[in-house]
């Protein structure tokens, strides 16, 4: 009986992950196509608003990690079906639970600032038929604010010396 239940759960997880779109890659913000509100951005991954570049890793177990070139020490982690806690800002945290809703990843939770203030966060990530990433971010503190962030996948991120935090080559002194 236990073996049958475990097999059914593994099969269900495999089917859910198999239906999830592949969000992995490096993505560039399309500012002209996006609606960016400073108070409704991806908290902890850049200054108010939206990071110009996102780096997304999507592992075989379904975990999705989003990083930016600005705050490399901070990342947003989504584990569909589970709650995650990630650092955000100066001493704050984002606690969110994410789930797949069809082909969209929906994360809902809250930003808790170091001073105790709380902001409700809802983030929805999806790919359109052309492969464009859309992230709808809604935050609610004193007032509700929403951003629609449109990203295009890129394959050339330029030489690392031009990145916000430049690399150091092994032969550099």
pLDDT tens digits, 106-161: 999 999 989 999 999 999 999 998 999 999 999 998 889 999 999 999 988 777 77
Tokens (6 digits) for 10: 């593994």
- 164 inside domain: no
The predicted-structure confidence for 63-80, as pLDDT tens digits, reads as follows: 999 988 775 557 889 999
Host domain of residue 40: 24-155
Cα dihedral 138, 73, 22, 11 sign: negative
- 5 inside domain: no
Count of domains for the chain: 1
- 8 inside domain: no
Instruction: Answer yes or no: is pLDDT of 11 > 60.
Output: no
- 93 inside domain: yes
Instruction: Answer yes or no: is pLDDT of 5 > 60.
Output: no
Cα dihedral 115, 107, 24, 127 sign: negative
pLDDT at 13: 43
- Contact between 68 and 47 under an 8 Å Cβ cutoff? The reply is no
The angle formed by the CA atoms of residues 115, 119 and 124, to the nearest 5 degrees, is 140
- 160 inside domain: no
CATH number of the CATH domain containing 125? 2.40.128.20
- 68 inside domain: yes
pLDDT class for 6, splitting at 50, 70, 90? very low
Task: Find tokens 């996102």 and name the residue.
Answer: 54
pLDDT at 132: 96
pLDDT class for 1, splitting at 50, 70, 90? low
For the beta sheet containing 104-112, the strands, ordered from the edge strand earlier in sequence to the opposite edge, are 76-78, 64-68, 53-58, 25-29, 144-154, 133-140, 118-127, 104-112, 92-101, 83-88
Tokens (6 digits) for 23: 């969000």
pLDDT class for 35, splitting at 50, 70, 90? very high
In the 8-state DSSP scheme, what is residue 160?
G
- 11 inside domain: no
The predicted-structure confidence for 49-108, as pLDDT tens digits, reads as follows: 788 889 999 999 999 999 887 755 578 899 999 999 988 877 888 999 999 999 999 999
Query: Is pLDDT larger for residue 3 or for residue 113?
Result: 113
Strand partners, 162: none
- 173 inside domain: no
Instruction: Answer yes or no: is pLDDT of 166 > 90.
Output: no
């Amino acid at each position: 009986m236990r073996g049958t239940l475990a097999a059914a759960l593994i099969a269900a997880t495999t089917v859910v992950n198999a239906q999830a779109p592949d969000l992995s890659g490096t993505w560039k913000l399309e500012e002209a196509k996006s609606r960016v509100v400073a108070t409704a951005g991806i908290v902890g991954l850049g200054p108010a608003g939206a990071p110009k570049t996102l780096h997304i890793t999507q592992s075989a177990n379904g975990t999705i990690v989003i990083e930016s070139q600005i705050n490399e020490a901070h990342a947003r982690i989504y584990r569909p079906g589970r709650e995650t806690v990630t650092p955000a800002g100066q001493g704050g945290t984002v606690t969110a639970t994410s789930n797949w809703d069809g082909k969209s990843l929906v994360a809902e939770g809250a930003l808790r600032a170091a001073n105790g203030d709380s902001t409700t966060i809802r983030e929805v990530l999806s790919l359109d038929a052309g492969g464009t990433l859309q992230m709808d971010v809604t935050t609610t503190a004193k007032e509700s604010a929403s951003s629609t962030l449109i990203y295009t996948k890129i394959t050339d991120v330029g030489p690392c010396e031009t990145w916000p935090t430049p690399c150091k080559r092994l032969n550099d002194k």
